[in-house]
Structure 1
């Protein structure tokens, strides 16, 4: 019997060797496909700096894990030159992360796949209980029902809350609009609810605007930005977040970018923080309604009432004056942040996105007039583009261990 290996065995050894060389590239490769930066195997090869054979082995392994899909037949883009390449995409029927969000007017659960794709959602209650365990138990159960209905594998769970979340213990330090106790251990409670529901994988928690910025940077209006500033107002208050060199900047204890407490109107409304005239109370949905002389109603959320006012009644003088007042205050706050942070892009979410759409030139002019950037062309100010971006960002927390080490996380 010959001591030489047959062609098939030699081929298998070659494939294993290529995969071994590329195993360290599995995470970076998955992130490239996840964020849409590697639509083909040729682009993946170039981005990873490996051979075509190694990139092929890496893509095949990710496909075997059920994470991505590789087109069987290579195809060239219309009008392109050169060799056709296999297209890559996330697997539509692959695993999901459970995402949960709690805000002043209720909660929402969702299943989110790779690529930031929302697979299913379930809205929740209109009144948030003062006991976080009851609320988080309810939103996790809603997510567990989605998992049972869809039959999807779950890699983990992430929670978005309208509060600064202090590290390393995951404490909600200022859940002002939820009536939760200051310092509620939301991460621990959420993790206990996830385990009690029989959901596998790690559990995480973070501030809702931080997570919105993370989602928009990977999948939305912030893609391609190096230093991204996100400012948003949802149901109550104003939040901010910063992505630096592609990573969410949370500071030494998770408390960075509390932009809601920038003073923009020294003679303005008292703020919950003890100050006066903060963005938090001068540029949120309640501020717009009050400024326009509207009495907030209980039927729908403050955010929806404020958005409806701008979209349907902007031509009314009182509404226009109120919008201009909020735009000027928001612009003043943004100008100060631009002078300090020097971002290459600003994205606005919630009511601020609607304000930008109502009068984009006014907001950009205020920021340019009040900041050093205005003397060098101005910083782009864009609307957020993702629906439920805080939910998508919460899912990103759960997906991160898989992006870091696909084999370790899934096997």
Structure 2
């Protein structure tokens, strides 16, 4: 083989991962765009697309219909393969769990919710969510190439431990990633794990299966940046409140910012009311206790009732009873507290976009200009240049983000992880 031929082959193989990521995130819908984005020849781009198609990851439409009046032959259309492999995504929250199969492009193929009281033994619920995922895989007949888990806690790296699962009865420092890995191994749903066929070079090879865990809001931010309301943002701030508490995440230059050990952006512990409620962290008046669903329901004068219904009850109040003066007053109070917290983050981080999730999406819908006005009034950068404040665009974005973790080895090296 001539040196030039070898060089072209190496260049093409090295381009497989970047090419797959471009198609995965929707940034290369055609072969012409792929060629330009990769900076390669048309022949190399064509070979790369053909290799990804042979791996069952994308489809190439070589005869697409052109737009009316368009000149010349339209470029080959590229898309993720809707029938291709999937990853198992799992999420645990205050009122149970959800398992899902997620394909490339952030597309959820199937889901299985499990609503229950989350036990104090994290291994028990992680085994249950993996069992639900294994059931989905058995029904679908799809190949699984990795697994990712989202938990409502900071996850310390490199240990993969949940440091502060405040709204679960789990022990501090629970080894969630290892427990999740064990459950996945025991279920035999990845290549090379018990009960499944071994494949050299696969995620189940001796280096260990492609099993990951992360904070739920961090993963929601990753998903929104790649597939949702954060697409195209350079510095994306995501703040969300789910069933309990408040979380935040930051994506910088396309990468999730997790700090030196995975614990960055614990925005729930920003003080927004110095004389407010005691917080789990030892402080008072944090966003975590002053601007979550429990705080909203209480401020609206409603009985909190069963904790598991707090998020849905809060959303229902905003959607159906916003005309009630008590509900409107509670919403204004939460907007003021949230706006104060966001303004502080804008002053420090100077993001080019803010995306809100959970209950905050509904607050933004109920009175979109009020929250934006508070952020602009309280922040230097908000006054000097408008910072867009948007709702999350994805359903189950933490699940999609957990899937992104599991897909990353494939995006980095499609041939090495899937061929064999």
- Shorter-chain TM range is over 0.9
Counterpart-to-counterpart distance in 1, 2:90 and 2:361: 22
* Equivalent position of 2:361 in the other structure: 353
Matched, 1:85 2:75: yes
* Equivalent position of 2:179 in the other structure: 189
Matched, 1:318 2:326: yes
Match for residue 299 of structure 2 among 288, 291, 298: 291
* Equivalent position of 1:3 in the other structure: none
| Structure 2 contact 343–382 (Cα < 8 Å) conserved | no
* Equivalent position of 2:394 in the other structure: 386
| Structure 1 contact 19–57 (Cα < 8 Å) conserved | no
Matches within 5 A, 1:160-309: 160-200=150-190, 201=203, 202-298=210-306, 301-309=309-317
TM-score relative to the length of structure 2: 0.93
* Equivalent position of 2:195 in the other structure: none
Counterpart-to-counterpart distance in 2, 1:209 and 1:301: 20
Matched, 1:52 2:42: yes
- Structure 2 counterpart SS, 1:301: helix
Counterpart-to-counterpart distance in 2, 1:250 and 1:119: 29
Structure 1: give runs of 5+ residues left out of the alignment: 1-8
Structure 1 pair 185–61 and aligned structure 2 pair: CA distance change class (3 A): same
* Deviation of 1:78 (Å): 4.8
* Equivalent position of 2:33 in the other structure: 43
Counterpart-to-counterpart distance in 1, 2:217 and 2:382: 26
* Deviation of 1:15 (Å): 8.9
Q: How many residues align?
A: 401
Deviations 1:243-262 (A, max 9, x none): 00000000000000000000
What RMSD over aligned residues (CA atoms) do the two structures have, in Å? 1.7
| Structure 2 contact 94–308 (Cα < 8 Å) conserved | no
Structure 1 pair 320–80 and aligned structure 2 pair: CA distance change class (3 A): farther
Deviations 1:107-163 (A, max 9, x none): 000000000000000001321011000000000000011011100001110000000
* Equivalent position of 1:126 in the other structure: 116
Counterpart-to-counterpart distance in 1, 2:149 and 2:68: 41
Matched, 1:362 2:355: no
| Structure 2 contact 62–75 (Cα < 8 Å) conserved | no
Counterpart-to-counterpart distance in 2, 1:75 and 1:42: 15
Counterpart-to-counterpart distance in 2, 1:23 and 1:256: 35
* Deviation of 1:267 (Å): 1.1
| Structure 2 contact 346–382 (Cα < 8 Å) conserved | no
* Equivalent position of 1:338 in the other structure: 346
* Deviation of 1:301 (Å): 2.1
* Equivalent position of 1:159 in the other structure: 149
